[in-house]
Amino acid sequence: MPTLVDIAPAPAQVADLVAAGLVRAVEVMHAQLRTSVGEVEQLVRLAERYHGKMLRPAISMVSAIASGPLSGEVGPIDESDPRFHRVATIGAVIELIHLATLVHDDVLDHAEERRGGPSVNALKGNEQSVILGDYLLSKAFHLCARLDAEAGTRCAIRVGEITSTVCEGEILQLSHRGDAELTRDTYFNIIERKTAALIAVGCELGAVLSGAPQSVADALYRYGMNLGTAFQIQDDLLDLVGEERLVGKPLGRDLELGKLTLPLIHFLETGGSEAQAVLAQVRSGAELDAPARRRLVQRLEDCGSLDYARTMASDLVADARLAIEALPDSPARTYLLDLASAVIERAF
């Protein structure tokens, strides 16, 4: 599965430290999830297959590297620096929460595949999957509490707030399944809560744990919110126009599940009589075969709906780049700027 540096290649000095940070984050997760209960161990191993681009822990590390020079500490962050280990730990916390949401999402979406293989619920059923998601969340909070006192308390408060925000986004989305009148405002409210908030808090806490001022942490939070929102719009586009072998899951699932995404919302607003077929699809939840999806994509292309979503994502990227304009010039800051552009150009 591609990782963050496959989305946007990083300068060597940044890539090496991020790679080391990811290794450390995975080690921390494995240690945290170790158990003597064989049945639980088996479930945990299945969940570990859900690791994807490792965007969240990686971007926490890049944010820390970019903002570290503003912390007053002597010298840049490196692998011997206590800040490195704190940031790797919070990256592990956030990745555990992300894995929990994926496990729960597959239950809610009746998904049978994830990352090119069977989902946990397809293998073990919904009951064990739900408890596994809860288990991962409990382990994330336990790990967060093991950070040193001041940092641990501050991070635990923010992680708790954002986890609640993610749950609010999920409830909001479930409440609007099959809603053919979903507004753009509600759509953005959903994806900002479900996807962008967790990315944003990873950026923020990377800065906090590097020792940077709150103003810098706030700027990186704004960067992460805009980046994460653009990232989700691109995911929604890939569900329509991507290649299944690259995306790693069946395409067309959003519409089958009655989830209106930005291109579809635009099409329903502007597509006239052509939109009636999409309305019927939203309400029926019928499975889309490949020819039907191609016909739908052509309608969205002809109506300008795909370009509209791409433009919105590009505008968000511009806002993300603007948010970190004041950070000192460095390879890490340059990488954050490049990454913002790359997330909407990816094919996976």
- CATH number of the domain within which 134 lies: 1.10.600.10
Average model confidence (pLDDT) across the chain: 89
Q: Is residue 258 part of a domain?
A: no
Identify the pLDDT of residue 121. 96
Q: Is residue 312 part of a domain?
A: no
Single-letter residue type at 253: R
Q: Is residue 297 part of a domain?
A: no
Q: Is residue 279 part of a domain?
A: no
Identify the pLDDT of residue 331. 92
Identify the residue with better confidence: 290 or 137: 137
Q: Is residue 104 part of a domain?
A: yes
Q: How far apart are CA 320 and CA 186, in angstroms?
A: 21
Q: Is residue 256 part of a domain?
A: no
Domain count, the chain: 1
Residues 71-118: tens digit of each pLDDT: 555 457 888 888 999 999 999 999 999 999 999 999 998 989 887 789
For the whole model, what pTM was predicted?
0.91
Q: How confident is the model at residue 23 (pLDDT cuts 50, 70, 90)?
A: very high
Q: Is residue 305 part of a domain?
A: no
Instruction: Supply the range of the domain harboring residue 115.
Output: 4-244+317-342
**CA triple 96-143-172, angle to 5 deg:** 45
